[in-house]
Structures are given as structure tokens and as C-alpha cells.
Chains A and B, each alone.
Chain A
Amino acid sequence: MSDHHPTGIKRWLFTTNHKDIGTMYLWFSFVMFLTGGAMAMVIRAELYQPGLQFVEPAFFNQMTTMHGLIMVFGAVMPSMVGLANWLIPMQIGAPDMALPRMNNWSFWILPFAFTMLLSSLFMEGGAPNFGWTFYAPLSTTYAPPSTDFFIFGVHMMGISSIMGAINVIVTVFNMRAPGMTLMKMPLFVWTWLITAFLLIMVMPVLAGAVTMMLTDRHFGTSFFDAAGGGDPVMFQHIFWFFGHPEVYIMILPAFGVVSEIIPAFSRKKLFGYSSMVYATASIALLSFIVWAHHMFATGMPVAGELFFMIATMLIAVPTGVKIFNWVATMWQGSLTFETPMLFSISFVILFTIGGFSGVMLAMAPVDFQYHDTYFVVAHFHYVLFPGAIFGTTAAVYFWLPKWTGKMYNETLGKIHFWMSMVFVNLTFFPMHFSGLAGMPRRIPDYNMMFAEFNMWASIGAFGLGLTQIFFLVTIIMAIRNGKKAEDKQWDGATGLEWDALPSPVPYHTFATPPKVD
């Protein structure tokens, strides 16, 4: 097959090529990442000092809400789908995704969904202001009129992720090259397959929750309205039934990424491949029975708190298996520390810190103190930034030579890494302390006693914001003037994309399936 591809805007609008769609997903998620990041800058600027400096409390609430929504649904999730699009067909020896037309559709819904969501910022009454968890009745009875745009936006991004997930499952089940058995698949494919099942299980529940909000707001139902026989606490149950698997949706693909990168730069096979697969599956299964650990403070009976506490702590076991395996892979390996490896190692270290604060939060008796404080903010930013985002960043550096045929500048990559490492910790580590001391989340003003911690966190956040611009410049420089990459840029890398394909990969690959022994 020739390497001909259409040109101009039509190439991108009508493309069914998994590489084009993967590229669009990645750029889209980066734009959303900068958008959500800009909102974080507003938040941190306001919190630089106690008192109200820059924004009104109402606008501050809109910023925290939109920052969360944009980062979760606009930055992290699409970036993972982008990686899946690029890598899964190449890694299993397939010519493309199984359902390419739907693939195009699932991407092109996203810009519309987020235009709708972001347009609410300019509406009368402002954007949604009830936190990204949109608890009823804040999001029903007391919400601004723009909430309906938010609801339909969530519907659309939900449809997009469901279609992406269907595509991954069908591709992995039906399109593997001959000889590529399930237990030979690269771990990235495995983690994404499990993520895809999580997505099709919980995104419809989220769609149900926002639909109930919609009918409560406009059509006289009372799902979450006590006056009509409903119950606002039930909203939290439905939301977190989606919400907890959702956090694994955001992190599992990153687990897959570092499971590819660490063996490559350790020049060893991944330690405990099958235990990694089973650990990922156990995490996914457990994620369905732990949701109420987000709700310890709602007045659950002790038996319920015990159940959810123990189930939650159980997740530390498969997660521990994974951390152990990554460390064991590096053990006695001939390590080198190129940028993707640096990001992966710091992923392991910092994600573990986030995991530990998660275990602390899982303890029902102490959660009453931590609940709704900056400790929670510190926890989930430690698993999301050095977790999901470092994972994606590592993936971009690792596979960029394969995708573009160009190498990034290693010095710039390392500077990017050390800026990220310093500023991530400077931003989020002090939040542990201010949280333990009792500083509440989502508040534009705070007690004088938290001033120092917040000043450090804000300085770190501004640095972290600059770091992303630096990342953008590094990547653009690589794409434009990078040195030519080799077909197998990393000598320790394994897998079909390195062994059977040139760099840059041609527009069409594996028109005849490769042989896998």
C-alpha cells in the first residue's frame, strides 16, 4: 500500500487513520491541559496570600469547578485515548483500529463538548460553580442556569469516551496479528483493555446521573430532592459509583506506559508480567466496591465504614505488587536515565507517595479530620500529576522518535524533567501540611496560619505552569528540527513498533500482519 494521504483540513476532518486521530487527541488534550492549567493559575494567584486579591469568591468557585472538569475529562482522559490510538494498533500488529469511522466521530465530538462547557464561563450567572463532583442539591436546586450546558457537555464527552473504549476492546479482541496471544500483548495494551472495560461500565452511570440532574432541574422529577421523596445522598452514591473507577481509568494506562519504559531503560524484561496483568485486573474489579470511601462523613453506619475502609485498603495490595515489579525490573539492570526513564522513575516514587496518602484517607476514623481539606487535594494531585501526567509525558518522549522520526533534545528534556520534579513537589507537598492543619478545599480565603504553605504552593504552581510552556517548546523544536531518529531509537525497547516498523512510522502500517512468535 502506498504512503499517500490526503492533505489540508480535510485530512484532519475526515480522517479514519489511527495515527492522525491519535495526534489530534494528544494535541487536543494538551490545549485542554493549558486551559485547565490557566484556571489553576487563577486559583493559585488568589491563594498566594490570605484575603481576597484578584477574583470574587463566586468566580473562584467557577475556576475550581472548571479546572477539575477540564483536567479530568479534557486533558487526562483524551491524552490516554490519544496514546491508545497511536500505540495499540502498532503494538498488536493491526493495520488500524477496528472501527475507524467511529474513531473519527469519537474525537470530533470532543471539541464541541468542551466548547459548550467553556462557553458557560461567558453566560449570565456564570459557569458551573459546585465543584467537579457536582453534588446535588448544589448542582440542581442552587445551580446557575449554565448547568444545562455542563450536563450536555458531560453527555457528549461520555459518548466520546464510550466510543473510544468500544474501539479499543474490539481492536484488541479481533485485530491482533497471528501469534499475538493475549498474554503476549505489551502491558500498555493490557492496561488499556482493562481501562476500556471500566469505561463502558461506568460512563453510562455518569450519563444516568447527569440525566437525573437534568430531569430534576426541568421536568419535575425528584431523584435528589428530599421534598419529593428523593435523596441528595443518593446522588453521591451514584456519582462515586462512577467516580472511583474513573480514577483508575485515568491512571491504569499510565501504569501501562511505565511498564513499557522501565524495562527498556533497564535493559531487562519486565519483572512479573503476568502478575502485572492480574494486579491491574484486580485493581479494576476492586474499584467497583469502594466508592463510599468518598462518603465517610455522610453519616454511614459503622458496618458500612468498615466494609469500605477494608475494601479500599485491599487495593494497596495489587498496587503494591505493581510498584514492587517496577522496582524489581530496575534491580540490577543496566540503567540509563534518558528523559522518559526519569519521568517513569519519578512516577513510581511520587505515585507511591500519593498512594500512601490514599491509604491514610481510606482510614475511616481519621478521614473525618482529612475530609474536604487540602490533604485530599494533595493526595489526588500526587496521583494525577506525577501519576497520569508524568506517565503521558514519559510516553510522549519515549514514542516521539517513532511517531515523528525526530529526536527531542535530551538536554531540554532533562531540564523539563527537573523543572517538573521540583515544581510538582513544591506545589503539592505543602498542601499535605495545610490540609492536616485543617485548611478546607475550594475556599478563596483562609486563615493566616496557612499563609506560608500557600505561598510556597503558589510559587510552585507558577513554576509548574511555565514548565508546561517549556515542554511545548521542546516538543515543537523536536518535531521541526529534531535530529533524525533511528528505527530502534532505544536499544532496550521491545515490541512490534520498534522491531518491525521504521521511524517515522509510515501512514499505513501492517497492511499484511507481522509474524509474532
Chain B
Amino acid sequence: MADNSEKETNKPLLIRLVAIIGGMFLFAYALVPLYNVFCDITGINGKTRGQALYQNVEIDKQRVVTVEFLTNVNRGMPWEFRSLVKSIKVHPGELNEVQFYAKNRSKQDIVGQTIPSVSPGEAALYLNKTECFCFDQQRLKAGEEVDMVVKFYLDADLPKDINRLTLSYQLFNVSDSFKFEVATSK
């Protein structure tokens, strides 16, 4: 019978197919960093970047852009969380400071993490934060309140058709898992 030779030819093909399958399984995981890198480069999905430096920034006094602030508190998070102003008008390039207020209304210590998002998404590339409470987690004791600050400037290259953008913060309760780091989205 030709059985043996058949098995011989089946094996290399089988190994290659299994390699493709293993590769595709890993590819699913590789999509995670790829996705973040892609969003970081293109700024889509409204993900803001990490800490920026305010150096030699050109200020465009001609242009006025409205920046609105939005705060949301996720389910299971007994905090009060809001910005002290609803919106400000800024010149691109100018360094701005906005205060946020948070209060732990529960009877326990809670660790919170805010996740920023910018709308329209493409504006995220041009919003640079030099300081933000979202870079860290906040630990508030029962009943404790805190004023938090975000300092940012808009890049002068902000596309001309964007004259209003929203910076939104979603506050999550991460008390269960506050030990591990927040790797991205800072």
C-alpha cells in the first residue's frame, strides 16, 4: 500500500498548517498592541497621548477654539466627579489649566482611574497635556474630596475645520485591581 509514502507527504503540509493556526492565534493577541500603536499614530478613537512638554510652542492669537469638558462616572463608582468649568475658549498654543473636583461619597477608601477621550477623534493628536490627573490613579479615603488639575495646550496645526472639541473623562472604580499598572491611554 502507498500508506507510508502518503503519511510522509502529509506531515510537512500538516506542520505548515498547524504553524499558520498557531500564528493566527498569536496574531489575535498581536492585534492588541497593533491597535494601540495604530490609534496612537493616527489619533483615531480619541485616545490622547502621554505627557507632553510645553517648549517653544507657537501661539496663534488669531484663532479661538472652544474646548468643552465632560465627566462621567462609571457604574459601581460612588464618587462625585465634575469639572469646575463646562467649557473654555483657547488660542492654539496657549497653555491652559482646568480644575476638576472629585469627592468620595462612600464609606470606604476607593481607588479611581479616569480615562480620557477626545471628540472628534482626530483632534486627539493635537491636544497635548503637560499635566493630568489621568496620568495617575487617585486614592480617596471615605468622604475625602480633592481638586485635580489638567494642563494642556492645543497644537497650532489643529485642522482648520475643528473649532470646538470635547475632552471627556470617564471615571472607573479600580479598587480591585489598582495594583497593576495602567499601561496605555495615559
Contacts and interface: CB of A to CB of B under 8 A. Distances in A.
Contacts of A98: 6, 10
A174 B17 CA distance: 14
A237 B182 CA distance: 21
B124 to A, nearest CB: 11
Interface string A194-211: 000000111111011100
A162 B6 CA distance: 21
Interface string B107-122: 0000001010001011
Contacts of A203: 21, 24
A202 B31 CA distance: 13
A20 interface: no
B32 A234 contact: yes
Interface in B27-79: 27-29, 31-32, 35-36, 42, 44-46, 74
B25 A207 contact: yes
Contact of A223 (B6, B32, B174): B32
Given A169-B13, A202-B24, A205-B24, A220 B31 contact: no
Contacts of A175: 6
Interface string A231-253: 10110011001000000000000
Interface in B134-186: 170, 172-174, 177, 180, 182-185
A301 B44 contact: yes
Contacts of A204: 21-25, 27-28
Interface in A339-395: none
Contacts of A300: 44
A228 interface: yes
B170 A226 contact: yes
Contact of B185 (A223, A229, A299): A229
A299 to B, nearest CB: 6
Taking residues whose C-beta sits less than 8 angstroms from the other chain, chain A's interface range is 35 or more
Given A170-B13, A227-B173, A238 B28 contact: yes
| Majority SS at the chain A contact face | helix
Given A170-B14, A301-B44, A304-B44, A200 B31 contact: no
A226 B24 CA distance: 25
Given A169-B13, A203-B21, 14 more contacts: A98-B6, A162-B21, A170-B10, A170-B13, A174-B6, A205-B24, A207-B25, A207-B28, A208-B31, A209-B28, A223-B32, A227-B115, A228-B180, A299-B119
Contact of A226 (B10, B17, B18, B115): B115
A174 B183 CA distance: 48
B115 A166 contact: no
A99 B11 CA distance: 10
15 contacts: A170-B14, A170-B17, A200-B17, A200-B20, A204-B23, A204-B25, A204-B28, A207-B25, A208-B29, A209-B28, A220-B180, A227-B113, A231-B45, A237-B35, A241-B28
A98 B180 CA distance: 48
A200 B24 contact: yes
B45 A241 contact: no
Contacts of A227: 74, 113, 115, 172-174
